[in-house]
């Protein structure tokens, strides 16, 4: 099916995998005199427009940072809101994602802090969309890049792998989402220039694009801008120009 791409985007250099740090919800709300949680609520439209934009571009993988292993430090009310919010999104929107042939996966720790009900919704979304092929949407939830590496190392130790048999592939194969290619591009919103424990292993050679836009204002056009910026970059992977 011939796709019409947004203007100025080279069909031969579409990133395979884009990762987003959806940041700035709290400031978006505060700026409007609203409680921070309203910013999270407003982020839903941003996320689903971004998913549509990603499908329009033909991305195969889209990963979004929804809740970090550090976000538990937030006030209990906000944490509780985010748990219910994510549960609600999964129930309300999974059929729509399924209808778009999107496979849903999760990256993160399934520890005791994540409510059972939410874990159940997560499993249902994964099961429902398991065989979808167009794009994989990975939701990084209770996710930490260091935790992911620790979990991989624990698994390697538990398997009794001999030290001289451990290479990069040994670790890669034990990351949370099997078969996930490294992101080509990482986008972070809200004018913060940091990684905040997102995909530490996987971002080793990703192109990083930062935008001032707060996440609730992010739309597919902002994703297209990030991809245009990505296509202007020269990727060397340590090689010579």
Q: Which residues bind ligand IPE (CB under 6 A)?
A: 21-27, 65-68, 71, 82, 190, 192, 194, 196
148's contact among ligand IPE, Mg ion, none, with CB below 5 to 8 A by partner kind, is: none
Catalytically annotated residues:
23, 71
- Comparing CB distances to ligand IPE, the nearer of 69 and 129 is 69
- Of 61 and 67, nearer to ligand IPE (C-beta) is 67
Residue 23 or 202: the one with the smaller Cβ distance to Mg ion is: 23
- Closer to ligand IPE by Cβ: residue 14 or 61: 61
Segment near Mg ion (CB under 5 A); pick from 16-24, 102-110, 167-175, 225-233 = 16-24
Tokens of 142: 């209770």
Q: How far apart are CA 128 and CA 147, in angstroms?
A: 27
Using the minimum distance from each CB to ligand IPE, give the nearer residue, 78 or 225: 78
Tell me: does residue 23 bind Mg ion (CB under 5 A).
yes
Total of chain residues touching Mg ion, rule CB under 5 A: 1
Q: Which does 71 bind (CB under 5 to 8 A by kind): Mg ion, ligand IPE, none?
A: ligand IPE
Burial annotation 170-191 (CB, 10 A radius, 16+ → b, else e): ebeebbbbeebebbbbbbbbbe
Min dist. Cβ of residue 23 to Mg ion (A)? 4
Alpha-carbon gap, residue 230 to 223, rounded angstroms: 10
196 binds, among ligand IPE, Mg ion, none (CB under 5 to 8 A by kind): ligand IPE
Intra-chain end-to-end CA distance of the chain, in Å = 36
Total residue count of the chain as it appears in this document: 241
Provide the Cα torsion 185, 191, 194, 200; round to 10°. -30
Strands 61-68 and 207-210: unpaired
Q: Scan for tokens 């005199």, then name that residue.
A: 33
In the complex, the smallest distance separating the C-beta of residue 145 from ligand IPE, rounded to whole angstroms, is: 11
Least spacing, CB of residue 45 vs ligand IPE, in Å: 14
Residue nearest to Mg ion (CB): 23
Q: In the bound complex, what is the minimum distance in angstroms from residue 21's beta carbon to ligand IPE?
A: 5
Provide, rounded to whole angstroms, the least separation between the CB of residue 154 and Mg ion. Answer: 29
Strand ranges of the sheet holding 61-68, from the earlier edge strand across to the other edge? 102-107, 135-143, 61-68, 17-21, 185-188, 207-210
Alpha-carbon distances of 97 from 68, 130, 148, 218, rounded to whole Å:
23, 12, 26, 19
Which residues contact Mg ion by CB under 5 A? 23
């Amino acid at each position: 099916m011939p796709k019409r791409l947004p203007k100025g985007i080279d069909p031969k250099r579409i990133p395979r995998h884009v990762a987003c740090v959806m940041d700035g919800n709290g400031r978006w709300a505060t700026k409007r005199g609203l409680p921070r949680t309203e910013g999270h609520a407003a982020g839903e439209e941003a996320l689903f427009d971004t998913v549509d934009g990603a499908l329009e571009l033909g991305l195969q993988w889209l990963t979004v940072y929804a809740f970090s292993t550090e976000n538990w430090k937030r006030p209990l009310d906000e944490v509780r809101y985010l748990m219910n919010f994510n549960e609600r999104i999964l129930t309300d929107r999974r059929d729509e994602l399924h209808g778009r042939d999107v496979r849903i996966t999760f990256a993160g720790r399934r520890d005791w802090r994540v409510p059972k009900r939410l874990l159940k919704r997560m499993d249902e979304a994964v099961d429902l969309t398991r065989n979808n092929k167009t794009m994989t949407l990975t939701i990084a939830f209770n996710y930490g890049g260091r935790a992911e590496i620790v979990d991989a190392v624990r698994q390697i130790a538990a398997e009794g792998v001999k030290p001289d048999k451990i290479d990069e592939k040994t670790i890669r194969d034990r990351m949370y989402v099997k078969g996930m290619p490294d992101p080509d591009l990482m986008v972070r919103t809200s004018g913060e220039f940091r990684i905040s424990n997102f995909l530490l292993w996987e971002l080793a050679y990703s192109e990083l694009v930062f935008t001032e836009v707060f996440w609730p204002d992010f739309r597919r056009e902002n994703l297209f801008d990030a991809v245009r910026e990505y296509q202007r970059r020269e990727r060397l992977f340590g090689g010579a120009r």
